[in-house]
Amino acid sequence: MLALLISLAIFIAACASLHAGRSIAARMPQVHLTYEAQKSAQFGIGMMATLMALVLGFMVTSARATFDRANEDVIAVATNLVLADRALSGYGEQAQPMRVQLRHFLDTAASGLEADDKTRGVIFRTPHTNLSLITQLQGNILTLEPHSDAQLWFRGRALQLTTDLAHARVLTSEDGHSSEPVPLLCAIGVWVVLIFIGIGIYSTHNRAVMVVMLFCALAYAGAIFLILELEDPYGGILRVSGEPLLHATAELKL
Protein backbone atom coordinates (compact mmCIF):
# COMPACT_ATOMS: atom_id res chain seq x y z
CA MET A 1 0.00 0.00 0.00
CA LEU A 2 2.84 2.41 0.84
CA ALA A 3 4.49 1.77 -2.53
CA LEU A 4 1.22 2.55 -4.31
CA LEU A 5 0.72 5.78 -2.34
CA ILE A 6 4.27 6.99 -3.00
CA SER A 7 4.10 6.22 -6.72
CA LEU A 8 0.69 7.91 -6.91
CA ALA A 9 2.16 10.98 -5.19
CA ILE A 10 4.98 11.04 -7.77
CA PHE A 11 2.46 10.86 -10.62
CA ILE A 12 0.31 13.65 -9.16
CA ALA A 13 3.40 15.80 -8.54
CA ALA A 14 4.50 15.31 -12.16
CA CYS A 15 1.06 16.25 -13.52
CA ALA A 16 0.83 19.28 -11.24
CA SER A 17 4.34 20.37 -12.23
CA LEU A 18 3.45 20.06 -15.91
CA HIS A 19 0.40 22.27 -15.39
CA ALA A 20 2.46 24.72 -13.31
CA GLY A 21 5.02 24.92 -16.11
CA ARG A 22 2.34 25.82 -18.63
CA SER A 23 1.03 28.53 -16.27
CA ILE A 24 4.53 29.93 -15.80
CA ALA A 25 5.11 29.98 -19.57
CA ALA A 26 1.94 32.02 -20.08
CA ARG A 27 3.33 34.73 -17.77
CA MET A 28 6.95 34.74 -18.93
CA PRO A 29 8.30 37.45 -21.24
CA GLN A 30 8.70 36.22 -24.81
CA VAL A 31 12.43 36.94 -24.68
CA HIS A 32 12.75 33.89 -22.41
CA LEU A 33 10.78 31.70 -24.81
CA THR A 34 12.80 32.20 -27.98
CA TYR A 35 14.02 29.24 -30.00
CA GLU A 36 17.57 29.61 -28.65
CA ALA A 37 16.36 29.78 -25.05
CA GLN A 38 14.13 26.79 -25.66
CA LYS A 39 17.00 24.69 -27.06
CA SER A 40 19.29 25.60 -24.16
CA ALA A 41 16.63 24.80 -21.57
CA GLN A 42 15.78 21.51 -23.25
CA PHE A 43 19.47 20.57 -23.11
CA GLY A 44 19.49 21.10 -19.34
CA ILE A 45 16.20 19.24 -18.89
CA GLY A 46 17.59 16.37 -20.94
CA MET A 47 20.69 16.18 -18.72
CA MET A 48 18.54 16.05 -15.60
CA ALA A 49 16.25 13.40 -17.12
CA THR A 50 19.27 11.30 -18.12
CA LEU A 51 20.71 11.55 -14.62
CA MET A 52 17.41 10.46 -13.08
CA ALA A 53 17.10 7.59 -15.57
CA LEU A 54 20.53 6.33 -14.52
CA VAL A 55 19.65 6.57 -10.83
CA LEU A 56 16.34 4.77 -11.38
CA GLY A 57 18.13 2.09 -13.38
CA PHE A 58 20.61 1.47 -10.55
CA MET A 59 17.77 1.41 -8.02
CA VAL A 60 15.77 -1.12 -10.04
CA THR A 61 18.86 -3.33 -10.38
CA SER A 62 19.54 -3.13 -6.63
CA ALA A 63 15.90 -3.83 -5.76
CA ARG A 64 15.78 -6.81 -8.12
CA ALA A 65 18.94 -8.19 -6.49
CA THR A 66 17.27 -7.86 -3.07
CA PHE A 67 14.18 -9.69 -4.35
CA ASP A 68 16.23 -12.49 -5.92
CA ARG A 69 18.30 -12.88 -2.75
CA ALA A 70 15.13 -13.20 -0.65
CA ASN A 71 13.80 -15.82 -3.06
CA GLU A 72 17.06 -17.79 -2.83
CA ASP A 73 16.96 -17.65 0.98
CA VAL A 74 13.41 -19.04 1.08
CA ILE A 75 14.54 -21.85 -1.22
CA ALA A 76 17.52 -22.45 1.11
CA VAL A 77 15.17 -22.74 4.11
CA ALA A 78 12.99 -25.26 2.28
CA THR A 79 15.99 -27.25 1.03
CA ASN A 80 17.64 -27.47 4.45
CA LEU A 81 14.34 -28.53 6.01
CA VAL A 82 13.94 -31.45 3.61
CA LEU A 83 17.59 -32.53 3.90
CA ALA A 84 17.53 -32.30 7.71
CA ASP A 85 14.42 -34.46 7.77
CA ARG A 86 16.14 -37.02 5.55
CA ALA A 87 19.16 -37.06 7.86
CA LEU A 88 16.98 -37.62 10.92
CA SER A 89 15.09 -40.32 9.06
CA GLY A 90 18.37 -42.04 8.29
CA TYR A 91 19.32 -41.98 11.98
CA GLY A 92 16.40 -44.20 12.94
CA GLU A 93 13.33 -44.32 15.16
CA GLN A 94 15.09 -42.53 18.02
CA ALA A 95 15.09 -39.34 15.93
CA GLN A 96 11.34 -39.45 15.24
CA PRO A 97 10.51 -36.78 17.90
CA MET A 98 13.02 -34.44 16.24
CA ARG A 99 11.33 -34.99 12.89
CA VAL A 100 8.05 -33.95 14.50
CA GLN A 101 9.75 -30.78 15.77
CA LEU A 102 11.08 -30.10 12.29
CA ARG A 103 7.59 -30.40 10.84
CA HIS A 104 6.35 -27.99 13.51
CA PHE A 105 9.01 -25.51 12.45
CA LEU A 106 7.93 -25.87 8.83
CA ASP A 107 4.26 -25.46 9.73
CA THR A 108 5.11 -22.24 11.55
CA ALA A 109 7.20 -20.96 8.63
CA ALA A 110 4.52 -21.83 6.07
CA SER A 111 1.56 -20.62 8.12
CA GLY A 112 1.84 -17.07 6.80
CA LEU A 113 1.80 -17.91 3.11
CA GLU A 114 -1.95 -17.41 2.79
CA ALA A 115 -2.20 -14.79 5.54
CA ASP A 116 -2.61 -11.05 5.08
CA ASP A 117 0.44 -8.87 4.43
CA LYS A 118 0.85 -7.87 8.10
CA THR A 119 0.83 -11.44 9.43
CA ARG A 120 3.02 -12.66 6.59
CA GLY A 121 5.49 -9.86 7.27
CA VAL A 122 5.76 -10.72 10.97
CA ILE A 123 6.43 -14.39 10.23
CA PHE A 124 9.05 -13.78 7.55
CA ARG A 125 10.74 -10.69 8.97
CA THR A 126 11.04 -11.81 12.60
CA PRO A 127 13.47 -14.71 12.98
CA HIS A 128 12.62 -15.21 16.65
CA THR A 129 9.15 -16.49 15.71
CA ASN A 130 10.69 -19.88 14.96
CA LEU A 131 14.43 -19.54 15.52
CA SER A 132 13.97 -20.76 19.09
CA LEU A 133 12.42 -23.93 17.67
CA ILE A 134 15.68 -24.67 15.86
CA THR A 135 17.66 -24.19 19.07
CA GLN A 136 15.40 -26.64 20.88
CA LEU A 137 15.66 -29.05 17.97
CA GLN A 138 19.45 -28.95 18.00
CA GLY A 139 19.50 -29.52 21.75
CA ASN A 140 17.37 -32.62 21.31
CA ILE A 141 19.57 -33.88 18.47
CA LEU A 142 22.59 -33.58 20.76
CA THR A 143 20.88 -35.88 23.26
CA LEU A 144 20.87 -38.70 20.71
CA GLU A 145 23.40 -41.43 21.51
CA PRO A 146 24.72 -42.99 18.28
CA HIS A 147 25.35 -46.74 18.37
CA SER A 148 27.07 -46.96 15.00
CA ASP A 149 29.22 -44.92 12.67
CA ALA A 150 26.20 -44.40 10.41
CA GLN A 151 24.12 -42.93 13.22
CA LEU A 152 27.05 -40.72 14.24
CA TRP A 153 27.29 -39.41 10.68
CA PHE A 154 23.53 -38.80 10.40
CA ARG A 155 23.49 -36.94 13.72
CA GLY A 156 26.36 -34.69 12.63
CA ARG A 157 24.69 -34.15 9.29
CA ALA A 158 21.41 -33.18 10.96
CA LEU A 159 23.20 -30.70 13.24
CA GLN A 160 24.98 -29.08 10.30
CA LEU A 161 21.78 -28.81 8.26
CA THR A 162 19.82 -27.30 11.14
CA THR A 163 22.64 -24.77 11.62
CA ASP A 164 22.39 -23.88 7.93
CA LEU A 165 18.62 -23.69 8.37
CA ALA A 166 18.96 -21.19 11.23
CA HIS A 167 21.38 -19.11 9.13
CA ALA A 168 19.00 -19.05 6.16
CA ARG A 169 16.08 -18.21 8.46
CA VAL A 170 17.88 -15.14 9.82
CA LEU A 171 18.72 -14.07 6.27
CA THR A 172 15.05 -14.19 5.28
CA SER A 173 14.26 -11.76 8.08
CA GLU A 174 17.05 -9.40 6.98
CA ASP A 175 15.85 -9.54 3.37
CA GLY A 176 12.40 -8.37 4.46
CA HIS A 177 13.51 -4.89 5.54
CA SER A 178 13.33 -2.17 2.91
CA SER A 179 16.68 -0.47 2.27
CA GLU A 180 15.69 2.41 0.00
CA PRO A 181 16.86 5.65 1.69
CA VAL A 182 14.16 8.27 2.16
CA PRO A 183 16.45 11.19 1.10
CA LEU A 184 17.05 9.49 -2.26
CA LEU A 185 13.32 9.09 -2.86
CA CYS A 186 12.83 12.74 -1.92
CA ALA A 187 15.57 13.75 -4.36
CA ILE A 188 13.85 11.80 -7.13
CA GLY A 189 10.59 13.54 -6.30
CA VAL A 190 12.30 16.93 -6.59
CA TRP A 191 13.89 15.94 -9.92
CA VAL A 192 10.50 14.87 -11.27
CA VAL A 193 8.99 18.22 -10.28
CA LEU A 194 11.82 20.22 -11.88
CA ILE A 195 11.82 18.16 -15.08
CA PHE A 196 8.09 18.46 -15.63
CA ILE A 197 8.03 22.16 -14.80
CA GLY A 198 10.69 22.65 -17.47
CA ILE A 199 8.76 20.50 -19.94
CA GLY A 200 5.60 22.45 -19.18
CA ILE A 201 7.36 25.73 -19.89
CA TYR A 202 9.24 24.84 -23.07
CA SER A 203 7.20 22.12 -24.77
CA THR A 204 4.52 22.67 -27.37
CA HIS A 205 1.20 23.26 -25.64
CA ASN A 206 -1.20 20.92 -27.40
CA ARG A 207 -3.20 17.94 -26.21
CA ALA A 208 -1.15 15.30 -27.99
CA VAL A 209 2.07 16.47 -26.32
CA MET A 210 0.35 16.69 -22.94
CA VAL A 211 -0.94 13.12 -23.26
CA VAL A 212 2.57 11.89 -24.07
CA MET A 213 3.94 13.76 -21.06
CA LEU A 214 1.30 12.17 -18.83
CA PHE A 215 2.43 8.75 -20.04
CA CYS A 216 6.01 9.75 -19.16
CA ALA A 217 4.84 10.73 -15.68
CA LEU A 218 3.11 7.38 -15.38
CA ALA A 219 6.34 5.64 -16.40
CA TYR A 220 8.31 7.44 -13.67
CA ALA A 221 5.66 6.58 -11.09
CA GLY A 222 5.64 2.97 -12.28
CA ALA A 223 9.42 2.73 -11.88
CA ILE A 224 9.19 4.00 -8.30
CA PHE A 225 6.37 1.55 -7.58
CA LEU A 226 8.42 -1.34 -8.98
CA ILE A 227 11.46 -0.39 -6.90
CA LEU A 228 9.50 -0.15 -3.66
CA GLU A 229 7.68 -3.42 -4.32
CA LEU A 230 10.89 -5.33 -5.07
CA GLU A 231 12.48 -3.93 -1.91
CA ASP A 232 9.67 -5.51 0.15
CA PRO A 233 9.80 -9.14 -1.04
CA TYR A 234 7.41 -10.53 1.60
CA GLY A 235 4.55 -8.06 1.24
CA GLY A 236 2.68 -6.04 -1.34
CA ILE A 237 1.75 -7.13 -4.83
CA LEU A 238 5.15 -8.47 -5.94
CA ARG A 239 6.24 -11.03 -3.38
CA VAL A 240 8.54 -14.00 -3.06
CA SER A 241 6.81 -17.25 -3.88
CA GLY A 242 6.05 -19.58 -1.00
CA GLU A 243 5.99 -22.63 -3.27
CA PRO A 244 9.33 -24.00 -1.98
CA LEU A 245 7.93 -24.18 1.56
CA LEU A 246 4.71 -25.78 0.33
CA HIS A 247 6.72 -28.37 -1.59
CA ALA A 248 8.81 -29.01 1.53
CA THR A 249 5.60 -29.48 3.53
CA ALA A 250 4.42 -32.10 1.06
CA GLU A 251 7.84 -33.79 1.14
CA LEU A 252 7.94 -34.03 4.93
CA LYS A 253 4.48 -35.58 5.01
CA LEU A 254 5.54 -38.47 2.77
Q: Could you report the per-residue pLDDT of 193-239, keeping only the tens digit for each?
A: 999 998 888 887 788 888 888 999 999 999 999 998 888 887 778 88
Rounded distance between C-alpha atoms, residue 195 and residue 25, angstroms: 14
124 pLDDT more than 60:
no
- Is residue 176 within 8 A of residue 124, CB to CB? The reply is yes
Rounded distance between C-alpha atoms, residue 143 and residue 101, angstroms: 14
pLDDT, tens digit, for every residue of 21-32?
888 888 878 777
What does the pLDDT read at residue 104? 83
CB neighbours of 216 closer than 8 A, spacing ≥ 6? 14
CA proximity to 71, closest of 227, 251, 239: 239
> Residue 94 gets which letter from DSSP?
G
- Of all residues in the chain, what percent carry a pLDDT higher than 70? 88
Q: What is the pTM of this model?
A: 0.78
Rounded distance between C-alpha atoms, residue 59 and residue 231, angstroms: 10
pLDDT, tens digit, for every residue of 170-199?
887 776 665 667 788 888 999 999 999 988
What does the pLDDT read at residue 185? 85
Amino acid 175 reads D
In this structure, how many other beta carbons lie within 10 angstroms of the beta carbon of residue 68? Answer: 14
Rounded distance between C-alpha atoms, residue 106 and residue 112, angstroms: 11
Rounded distance between C-alpha atoms, residue 3 and residue 228, angstroms: 5
